Structure 1
């Protein structure tokens, strides 16, 4: 689909860090090859510069995306992380070096023909999800590889996969995603979306089950939360006042409840550090 880049232009998945990252922990995001940017939001890296005194728990906010990631120190250990409708914490240990791929909504299932709902709210061994990808990472990533080298490995693999794609991204799912990205204040949209894209509500649920990993309402809630994060990061007012009203939250209590569900922490604790990746 020629205009697939629209999803990237309308959506910015962010990962706020409620706990300050010490000088011993490094996080970086870089863009993939431009030909992959309609499908992949970024490649990311997280590593400890030196052993920590205790295990590090990385809190991951709901972002509507599916990721794959690999242990650079042991490429036999690779994983797929599905759509989460709540935040969760992943234990990385006291010494670690991981690199990953964050796919834009719907694109992991499109590229690998894998049902997204089978990964929802879970982290699975990549070998059980897509054996060929796990095998490629084992064969092409070496302990000690730089992020630049890892980026080259990822680009090579996903460009090759894209070249062999025999079908376009489902235009009904694409249109439904765009509607949600443009109308995040309204969460009771399933009937309206199904009418616009020309499918029954039941079939729309099946499509989102396959491509996104959850229903339209859950996806819309995550998108709204992510759009709030983006607006807050761009606001010149540090407190951002009643910005949440602009995104359809009923009141402060509703906003805080939703925020804690998706981010594990309250807004005040999260934004105290003003750090996102």
Structure 2
């Protein structure tokens, strides 16, 4: 089945790579993996992920989610009747997990979840809600889909089929003005002045409403997250931060502004994260084995 998406959605996929910290600690007891969705879903879903510990832990594992601009759908395969949605996060969030647990999630690229399920993203911002309360008609079929699986590998093809069918039936009609502004923010690395540099053929007030409806917050907040994510992707050394002041290149006013914003969005200082001294459960900015988006 062919999945028809918009060039605007392809633009987000091409310009934006949301990163989460790698999972570390607990002597390998906690395992994180992620898989890419079917290529037809790439403009809409960044990845599927699994965070699991199949035995009790000596102490709670603190799973940290940093601001990444995405919305996640997630569930514990140990009790798959409970499916949750985590909206856009404008700060970091920590989840103490005692284990055993076997979480699987779907990380949607910005705008994809609201377009698919016709929900207002701003009503989910900085919140975790039961899927049945957000989209009552979709919860039961999705729960039936995931039941009986214990690994992401066994579930992936069913998730692919489900979302291809859902997105094909959804007849996505992205607003060109919104996606033009998103593309400009992503191209500029989040460093645009959203009041003067965005030419979206729409008033700033109306553009702000569109961002809140489909992204979860204002263009200014989304730009802050994009700029932060650009830093995680760049992975500058601590020496580059201290001596070359690369935070100026990313549009931060000064070092104090940079550190404060980084701690708000990540939960630790940039020095501890980029030097690899972050505490277990967060570690350094990840690539293929990163810990994601929203959970327990």
TM-score (norm 2): 0.86
Q: Paired residue for 1:274?
A: 284
Decide which of 241, 259, 264 is 2:267's aligned counterpart: 264
SS of residue matched to 2:14:
helix
Instruction: Give 1:24 deviation, angstroms.
Output: 0.4
1:204-215 aligned within 5 A: 204-215=207-218
Instruction: Give 1:91 deviation, angstroms.
Output: 3.2
Query: Contact conserved, 1:209 with 1:215, CA < 8 A, in 2?
Result: yes
Distance across 2 between alignment mates of 1:39 and 1:185: 20
Q: Paired residue for 1:85?
A: 90
Query: Contact conserved, 1:18 with 1:270, CA < 8 A, in 2?
Result: no
Instruction: Give 1:88 deviation, angstroms.
Output: 1.0
Query: Contact conserved, 1:256 with 1:267, CA < 8 A, in 2?
Result: yes
Aligned-residue CA RMSD in angstroms? 1.8
Q: Which runs of 5+ in 1 are unaligned?
A: none
Distance across 2 between alignment mates of 1:168 and 1:90: 35
Q: Paired residue for 2:147?
A: 142
Cα deviation, 1:186-239, whole Å, max 9, x if unaligned, reads 35313432xx2211111111101100110000000000000000001xx5x564
Which has the higher relative contact order, 1 or 2, with Cα contacts under 8 A spaced 6 or more apart? 2
Instruction: Give 1:134 deviation, angstroms.
Output: 2.1
Instruction: Give 1:257 deviation, angstroms.
Output: 0.5
1:98-137 aligned within 5 A: 98-137=103-142
1:227–1:21 CA distance, 2 compared to 1 (3 A): farther
Instruction: Give 1:240 deviation, angstroms.
Output: 3.4
Distance across 2 between alignment mates of 1:213 and 1:275: 24
Q: Paired residue for 2:200?
A: 197
Decide which of 172, 182, 185 is 1:180's aligned counterpart: 185
TM-score (norm 1): 0.92
Cα deviation, 1:144-171, whole Å, max 9, x if unaligned, reads 5221122112111110111112242221
Q: Paired residue for 1:231?
A: 234
Distance across 2 between alignment mates of 1:157 and 1:185: 33
Q: Paired residue for 2:64?
A: 59
Instruction: Give 1:249 deviation, angstroms.
Output: 1.2
Q: Which runs of 5+ in 2 are unaligned?
A: 1-5, 277-282, 291-296
Distance across 2 between alignment mates of 1:22 and 1:137: 34
Q: Paired residue for 1:240?
A: 240
Q: Paired residue for 1:35?
A: 40
Distance across 1 between alignment mates of 2:166 and 2:190: 36
Q: Which has the higher mean CA deviation after the structures are superposed, 88-97 or 217-226?
A: 88-97
